[in-house]
Amino acid sequence: MVTGGGNGIGRACCVRFAAAGARVVVADLMTDAATETVQAVEDAGGEAVAVQLDASDQESNTAMMRTAVETFGGIDVLLTAAGISHADYVSGDRSGNEELVAEAIERMADPASAFVDMELAAWRKVLDVNLTGTMLAVQGAARQMVASGGSGSIVTIASVAAKHPDAGPLAYAVSKAGVWMFTKSVARLLGPANIRVNAIGPGFIQTNMTQVLTEIPGVEDMFTTSLPLRRLGTPDEVAAAALFLASDESSYFTGTILHPDGGYFTD
Ligand X SMILES: NC(=O)c1ccc[n+]([C@@H]2O[C@H](COP(=O)([O-])OP(=O)(O)OC[C@H]3O[C@@H](n4cnc5c(N)ncnc54)[C@H](O)[C@@H]3O)[C@@H](O)[C@H]2O)c1
The set of catalytic residues is 172
Q: How far is the CB of 24 from ligand X (least distance, A)?
A: 14
154 sits near ligand X (criterion: CB under 6 A) = no
Q: For ligand X, which residue of 2, 14, 22, 28 counts as binding (CB under 6 A)?
A: 28
Q: Is 152 in the site for ligand X (CB under 6 A)?
A: no
Length of the chain (residues): 267
3-state DSSP of 175-209 = HHHHHHHHHHHHHHHHHHHCEEEEEECCCCECCCC
Q: Closest separation between CB of residue 150 and ligand X, Å?
A: 26
Q: Is residue 183 near ligand X by the rule CB under 6 A?
A: no
Report which residue type is found at 117.
D
DSSP state of 166: G
In the chain, count H helices and then E strands. 11, 7
Q: 125: how many CB neighbours lie within 10 A of its CB? A: 18
**Euclidean distance between CA atoms 199 and 182, whole angstroms:** 10
- The verdict on 241 binding ligand X (CB under 6 A) reads no
Rule CB under 6 A: say whether 260 interacts with ligand X. no
Give the binding-site size for ligand X (rule: CB under 6 A).
30
Task: Specify the residue, 145 or 157, whose C-beta has the smaller distance to ligand X.
Answer: 157
Q: Does 10 contact ligand X by CB under 6 A?
A: yes
Q: Check residue 205 for interaction with ligand X (CB under 6 A).
A: yes
Pick the closest to residue 196 from 82, 78, 96, 115 (CA basis): 78
- What are the contacts of 180-184 at 24+ separation with CB within 8 A? 180/257, 182/131, 182/134, 182/135, 182/138, 182/156, 183/156, 183/158, 183/255, 183/257, 184/255
Q: Name which of residues 54 to 83 contact ligand X (CB under 6 A).
A: 54-56, 81-83
Member of 1, 2, 6, 132 binding ligand X (CB under 6 A): 6
The yes or no reply on residue 18 touching ligand X (CB under 6 A) is no
- Name which of 68 and 81 has its Cβ closer to ligand X: 81
Backbone angles phi, psi at 205, to 5 degrees: -115, 140
Q: Is 208 in the site for ligand X (CB under 6 A)?
A: yes
Q: Which residues of 183-220 are buried (b: 16+ CB within 10 A; e: fewer)?
A: beebbeebeeeebbbbbbbbbbbbbbbbebbeeeeeeb
Stretch that binds ligand X, among 28-36, 105-113, 147-155, 215-223 (CB under 6 A): 28-36
Near ligand X by CB under 6 A: residue from 22, 24, 25, 29: 29
Site track 122-141 with ligand X (rule: CB under 6 A), x = hit: -------x------------
Told to check if 7 binds ligand X by CB under 6 A, we report yes
CA–CA–CA angle 36, 38, 41 (5° rounding): 110
**What are the residues binding ligand X (CB under 6 A)?**
3-4, 6-10, 28-30, 33, 53-56, 81-84, 91, 129, 157, 159, 202, 204-205, 207-210
